[in-house]
Amino acid sequence: MRTAHKCRAYPDLEQASVLNRTFGCVRVVWNRTLAWRHARYHGEQARTNFTQANAYLTAMKASEDLGWLNEVSSVPLQQAIRHQQVAFGNFLAGRARYPRYKCRNGRQSAEYTRSGFRYRDGRLFLAKMSTPLEFTWSWPDIDPASIDPTTVTVSRDPCGRWYVSFAVDVADPVQLPAAGTVVGVDLGITYFAVTSDGEKIPNPRRVERRARNLVRYQRRLARCRKGSANRAKARAKVARAHRKVRASRADFLHRTSARLVRENDVIVIEDLAVKNMVRNRSLAKAISDCGWGEFRRQIEYKAATAGRHLVVIDRWYPSSKTCSACGHLLASLGLSTRHWTCPGCRTLHDRDVNAAKNILAAGLAVTACGGDVRHSGSPRMRSPVKQEPRPVRTGLPVLQGGE
């Protein structure tokens, strides 16, 4: 399998100048090639493959007005063309949106393949540089001199921090021993997650806690004159504040997902349509701050690595409205109702805990029927179920009164 090690980098002034020029050339190649693809498709109704795009890069480097593209390494420029080809492939397959133009104020990056760098005894030498790039290694159990990176990506955040990522091919990790437990997880806003065993994981609300600083820095940025040095400093402060929020959220998601994967053999979650849910103006900010999509992605790859099973149930499953004790299905249940009593068995339910129990029951039913444990394709794909009639079981929704 392939993994990556991302470290803080500390280039000197000469190296920073070379990297900044490389970032600018990568950005120009990406934007001009994207515009050329767009005009070629709408003007000639012709699609562009990698060979044609690479030939266009050669023509740009041979032109007089873009001759300065030859001053940097050609490897990051070719990698930009390759990444754009992959981006268009994902767009045509429906997995991503249309590729966008790169901005000079956003995150900048350049990828080097083996022909663009040398890595010897833990020292990294990039093309067009005579001195090694200094970086901080953050994995004490791994010797940096023992890795053999296949690609190296150097990036710079809008706040000015430098990073270097090493992509390494490693052996498959040893799977975790069986834990003997299963869990259903219901994601929410009041509590980030509620498990079927009654545990409630609080929502840290990272953006809300730092909202005052964000507002103050953004107000200062809006008052600065465009193009001034003070505006650049104010923009860096805004980016730094957002980076702290992003890093804090990522740390929380990694800790939570790793603990769930480590302590359970089977994890059942819902297939939430986050892209549709953020269209609600009242809840869009809170939903975006939770990071449900990133949380599911982390659980997916960590479960696959550890040998755990992840079950994703249908997003339309009425987990909150179904009684986990007798299976009674309510006609409606408002978001403001956090506790309700089942009219069939008179059981008092906590809304989130009850939903987590039903999610677990539905996931185990799917697994028992021999369906897929995890779907990596369309969210509308459903697992197969048995076709013969069967009695109602506890935890499954049952329509009452001829509904």
Active site residue 289: no
Confidence at residue 226, expressed as pLDDT on a 0 to 100 scale: 92
List 111, 186, 265, 289, catalytic entry: 186
In this structure, what is the dihedral angle of CA atoms 69, 75, 77, 81, given to the nearest 10 degrees?
A: 150
What ranges make up the beta strands (E) of 123-161? 123-126, 135-136, 151-156
Residues with pLDDT less than 50, the chain: 372-403
Q: How far apart are CA 303 and CA 257, in angstroms?
A: 9
CA distances from 55 to 26, 47, 101, 163 (A): 16, 14, 20, 31
Confidence at residue 1, expressed as pLDDT on a 0 to 100 scale: 85
List 111, 289, 300, 352, catalytic entry: 352
Confidence at residue 5, expressed as pLDDT on a 0 to 100 scale: 94
Long-range contacts (CB closer than 8 Å, 24 or more residues apart) made by 378-387: 379/271, 379/273, 379/315, 382/314
List 111, 157, 265, 270, catalytic entry: 270
Confidence at residue 35, expressed as pLDDT on a 0 to 100 scale: 97
pLDDT in tens, 251-268: 999 999 999 999 999 999
pLDDT in tens, 95-123: 999 999 999 989 999 999 999 999 999 99
Active site residue 294: no
Confidence at residue 293, expressed as pLDDT on a 0 to 100 scale: 93
Burial tier of 403 (Cβ tally within 10 Å: 0-12, 13-18, 19+): exposed
Active site residue 121: no
Do 217 and 210 contact (CB within 8 A), yes or no? no
Which residues face 123 on adjacent strands?
Answer: 120
